[in-house]
Structure 1
Amino acid sequence: MATSKVSLKLLIDTKGNKVLFAEAGKDFVDFLFNLLSLPVGTVIRLLTKHSMVGALGNLYDSVETLSETYLQPNQSKDAILKPKAPVTASNVPLLLSDVESVSGKKFYMCQSFHRNVADDPHAICPHCNEYMNSKITYIARKFAEEGSSEELGGYVKGVVTYMVMDDLVVKPMSTISSIALLQKFSVKEVGALEERVVDLGMDEGLKLLKASLQSKAVLTSVFLGNIGA
């Protein structure tokens, strides 16, 4: 079952006011990986078109104001402005809680149930030439036990702790890699390091999505800085 908050532990260089990396579990890594599968239209809608960098916001606004008269009969504005997220995305919490998944999409067959499926009830079956207007239900993959669902769902395994860098590089956590990173960032004063547990909710999820499009210091921007409204 999806939760509204995801926790992760940050290692912060207080002198440089920078997040070196985060220790994260499966839930946060699934969230990050899922950002790559979001349709562009969904990303724009989540961030709101007025805060988008470049012209994508204008493109979104053009579709929004275009009359339905100019669209093909089997197309709708919602298909562009509110595209269906992948089924996996619907199992990831945070900013995806208000995004429809493909499991909510409507499919149709002809009354003879030939082996053809359409998303338009006005489509004609190539076998019997009848309208394909018999509604059928798409069933997403589910697991019998809730515990198994948490482990098997999403993208990565849950028995591993992951290291997420400030620029969102993700790798399995290890003591050796942690030490190597301290050397890479020239951290000489261990006393300047601070561990901080933070929660990622809807607001932080949206900030992270926005920061990932604008910066390579994503975790620092979200948890230590201000990337704007």
Structure 2
Amino acid sequence: MAAATTTTPSTTLTMKLLVDSSPLRRRVVFAEAGKDTVDFLFSLLALPAGTAVKLLGKESMVGCMANIYGSAERLEDPYVQPGAAKDAILCAAMPPPAAARPNSWIFPLPVPAPKSFFHCGTNYSSCRSYVTEVRGTGCPNCGNQMVIDAKLIESPALVALVRTGFVQGGMVAYTVTDDLVITPMSNVSTIALLNTCGVRDLGTLQERTVQIGHKEGLEILTSSLQSKTVLTDVFLGKKPPSSMKNGGSTPQLGGTRHESLTWRV
């Protein structure tokens, strides 16, 4: 299996929270986010399940996914198909948007080395249907070694997604609710959302700007798998997600957060 490199996050993302500070209902009503932050949230959909378990730690997973991961991890080689690598299941590599937009992917995920493909050098039309990743493989049609480099043409849609992200940027802003419903921001939708959330006293609302780095990204991922109040759980510490491994430590997500909040009341 080709060696994989690792992308390292170069910066943090920001998000503006509108917080209901009333003592009995302290919560995030909704947040305002730009393109890079929204691209990060949508990129969670592309995260392989095995990589999510590896990032968060088996102890943090609810349900049975950690058991599947542990079973694959413990499976001895005689029971694994010849040529199959455990890493393909336990930490599936994927090309993240960070390849071109470092702000929209904040996890240091493995990125696979580019693959090489080879085809037969004969001029038989029936040989042209075959390519291989292993140089020197015998052509199924003529038996000659497949040693001629073949170039893989990427899908234009995939290339555009990697280079530009998923959503429009510029002057466009997005509303992110506490349960991670993402919509384009507008004055009308904001007023409707305040009414839907039952906000009666506008004087209790405060604006806070938070930063999302690697640690906060992991907390958002964990909470999104367990809770319907993700932003409140992560940034106000109302209901901490399960503990998870992070560089050998086990952070507790409850209590007051100091390192990632910039208060703007």
Normalised to the residue count of structure 1, the TM-score between the two structures is 0.83
Number of the residue aligned with 2:242: 228
Q: Shift of residue 80 of structure 1? A: 0.7
Larger deviation: 128-137 or 52-61? 128-137
Whole-angstrom distance in 2 between the partners of 1:211 and 1:77: 27
Partner of 2:46, secondary structure, is: coil
Matched, 1:76 2:99: no
Moved over 4 A (4+): 119-124, 130-142, 149-152
Please tell me the residue identity of whatever aligns with 1:206.
L
Q: 2:17 aligns with which of 10, 19, 22?
A: 10
Number of the residue aligned with 2:121: 112
Q: Shift of residue 131 of structure 1? A: 5.5
Q: How do residues 12-161 of structure 1 correspond to structure 2 at under 5 angstroms? A: 12-15=19-22, 16-88=25-97, 90=99, 91=101, 92-95=104-107, 97=108, 99-102=109-112, 104-110=113-119, 112=121, 114=128, 116-119=130-133, 124-130=138-144, 153-159=164-170, 160-161=172-173
Identity %: 42
Gap regions ≥5 residues in structure 2 = 1-7, 123-127, 244-265
Whole-angstrom distance in 1 between the partners of 2:224 and 2:79: 35
Gap regions ≥5 residues in structure 1 = 143-148
Matched, 1:174 2:186: yes
Number of the residue aligned with 1:215: 227
Q: Shift of residue 111 of structure 1? A: 6.0
With over 3 angstroms needed to count, the CA separation of the structure-2 counterparts of 1:217 and 1:117, relative to structure 1, is farther
Q: How do residues 181-200 of structure 1 correspond to structure 2 at under 5 angstroms? A: 181-200=193-212
Normalised to the residue count of structure 2, the TM-score between the two structures is 0.72
Contact 1:68 1:76 in 2 (8 A): no
Contact 1:4 1:202 in 2 (8 A): no
Whole-angstrom distance in 2 between the partners of 1:169 and 1:94: 20
Q: Which has the larger radius of gyration?
A: 2
Q: Shift of residue 139 of structure 1? A: 8.1
Higher helix share: 1
With over 3 angstroms needed to count, the CA separation of the structure-2 counterparts of 1:154 and 1:124, relative to structure 1, is farther
Aligned residues: 220
Contact 2:121 2:147 in 1 (8 A): no
